[in-house]
Each structure stands twice: as C-alpha cells, then as structure tokens.
C-alpha cells in the first residue's frame, strides 16, 4: 500500500521522510497538530480542522509556512498520491529549525509542516467494534488543553496504562471531575440528557464534539453542559466519546463497571448514525 508523507515541500516515502534534529518540534514539542477523518478520498469537516489549527497557531504565536490555499492543495495531493479512500490525515506545524537549543523563539527559521495519512476503516463499523472500555486516571496535563499541542507525553503514558489493562481509552479526571479522554471528548447520558463539560482551557474543543452538539440541537435532545464526576460516569445510563477518527464511540464499561449492561446504548448509536450521515453529507460538499 502506498505510504507517502509530506515534509516541508517534499513528498517522500514515509520510511525516508526526515526532519532536522534541531527542529523545535523534536526538541521542545513546540508545535500544534490536527487529525482529520477521510472518507471516499475527501476530508470530513475540513473547515473545522483548519479553523482549529489556525486558532492553535495563533495561541502559540506561530504561522503556517505556506498559504492556506496551498495547504488545502497539499492535503488533496497527499490523499490522491496515497490512494486514500478511508482513514485519517495527520498534519502538524512546528516552530522550525533553530541553530541552537535555546528556549526563546529563534529568529528567521520557517515553520515546519509535516503531513501523512493512515488507511483504516472509520465509517459503518460493525456493532462488535462499537464497544469501548474506559479506564480513569488523574489528568496530569498542562493548563492550556484548548491548544492542540504536540506535547502529548501525559496522554501517551495514560493511554499505555489503559492499554495494559485491556481498555480502549482513558478518561482523565481532575478534582473528582472527568475532563476528557486521552484523545477524545467524554460524554455521559442520564435520563435521556447528554452531559459533557463546557469548552474552556481544560479541554480541547473537539471538531466531532461540536458537530454532535449541533446535531443534538437539530434533534431536540437535551444537553447539560457541565462537568460530571467519576461517580456520575459509573452510574450513567449510557456513555460515549467523540473524535475525528472514531466519530461517536459507545462505552460499555468504566473502570470495569458495566454501562448499560455492557451494551452500546440506543441513544449513543442513534447519535453515531446521525454523525455518520453528517460526515457523508459534508464530503459531498467538500468535493
């Protein structure tokens, strides 16, 4: 299967793609990133990803190394070169290559842009793959989680612990309240009411989360935008998490406590179906 990456203007086989050891993304995790779903060769809700990328760049005083219209062309070309029909597109921007390892922003270097794809099924998953198990762990991240930073060591360590305990995702907590998942936004459902905390510096404003909230409004469903406790999660009628790569993923257990008798919830599955329909319609507009 073709696997070509984009690195600062060059298209290379991914095993040959390289960055300088002085790149600030490597030395300081000084950069931001996005992951977008791709279906039928088209990026799902790309406008939301671009807007969030631009916001993250602004927050860390960084700019794209190329014009926005050129970035869109690179995305399209990389998808075409890799013959990507379904999967994800990853792209990140770092502050570029400095002459020395100094913390202060270097003068002169152009930011680095890296992009690659991953072939995987994301749409129309069979029901036996819609059954995530969650583990809760303390949230050890920095205080600006609204920035989609490439500094992901706390999530890496937490998700590894979850993996070692046969769980698919970690939900992190702070002061007894769930913040979000290691790479997702967290939701619970109680008495037909959806609960998830408000967008602020404590969580990332997920593109899938935002789309789901709009769908809730269109369907007339009740959304209670507030933090929820670990205990509330244990006692939820249903639970799920959202991300660009898994859409709406039903949760069947949290810390080995069954949710909805260990089965995907009906309302969660309805939301997943609504989101898949939204994604399919968005790619028609994006072609």
pLDDT along the chain (287 residues), means of 10: 92 96 97 98 97 98 97 98 98 95 89 98 94 98 98 98 98 98 98 96 97 92 97 98 98 98 97 96 73
* CATH code assigned to 127-286: 3.20.10.10
Range 122-130 contact pairs with CB under 8 angstroms and sequence separation of 24 or more:
122/37, 122/38, 122/39, 122/86, 122/87, 122/88, 122/245, 122/246, 122/247, 123/39, 123/86, 123/247, 123/276, 123/279, 123/280, 124/276, 127/264, 130/249, 130/250, 130/264, 130/269, 130/272
**Amino acid 10: pLDDT:** 97
Q: Is 62 helix (H, G, I), strand (E, B) or coil?
A: coil
**Amino acid 285: pLDDT:** 67
Q: Which CATH class is domain 4-119?
A: alpha beta
Residue pointed to by tokens 């939204």: 278
Portions of the chain given CATH number 3.20.10.10: 127-286
Distance CA 249, CA 168 (A): 10
Active site residue 83: no
Portions of the chain given CATH number 3.30.470.10: 4-119
User: Which position among 133, 148, 159, 202 bears the catalytic label?
Assistant: 148
**Amino acid 2: pLDDT:** 73
């Amino acid at each position: 299967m073709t696997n070509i990456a984009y690195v600062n203007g060059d298209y290379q086989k991914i095993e040959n793609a390289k960055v300088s050891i002085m790149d600030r993304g490597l030395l300081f995790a000084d950069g931001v990133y996005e992951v977008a779903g791709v279906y039928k060769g088209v990026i799902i809700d790309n406008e939301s990803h671009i807007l969030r990328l631009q916001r993250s760049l602004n927050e860390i005083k960084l700019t794209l190394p190329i014009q926005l219209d050129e970035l869109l062309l690179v995305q399209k070309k990389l998808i075409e070169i890799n013959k990507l029909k379904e999967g994800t597109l990853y792209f990140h921007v770092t502050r570029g290559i400095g002459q020395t390892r100094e913390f202060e922003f270097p003068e002169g270097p152009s930011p680095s842009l890296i992009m690659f794809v991953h072939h995987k099924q994301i749409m129309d998953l069979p029901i036996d793959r819609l059954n995530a198990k969650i583990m809760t762990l303390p949230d050890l991240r920095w205080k600006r989680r609204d920035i989609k930073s490439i500094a992901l060591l706390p999530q890496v360590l937490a998700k590894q612990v979850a993996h070692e305990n046969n769980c698919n995702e970690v939900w992190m907590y702070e002061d007894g309240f769930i913040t979000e998942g290691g790479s997702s936004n967290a939701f619970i459902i109680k008495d037909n009411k959806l609960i998830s905390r408000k967008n602020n510096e404590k969580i990332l404003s997920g593109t899938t989360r935002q789309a789901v909230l709009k769908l809730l409004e269109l369907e007339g469903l009740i959304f209670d935008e507030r933090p929820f406790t670990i205990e509330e999660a244990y006692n939820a009628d249903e639970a799920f998490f959202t991300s660009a790569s898994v859409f709406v993923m039903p949760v069947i257990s949290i810390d080995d406590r069954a949710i909805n008798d260990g089965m995907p919830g009906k309302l969660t599955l309805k939301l997943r179906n609504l989101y898949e329909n939204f994604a399919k319609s968005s790619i028609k507009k994006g072609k």
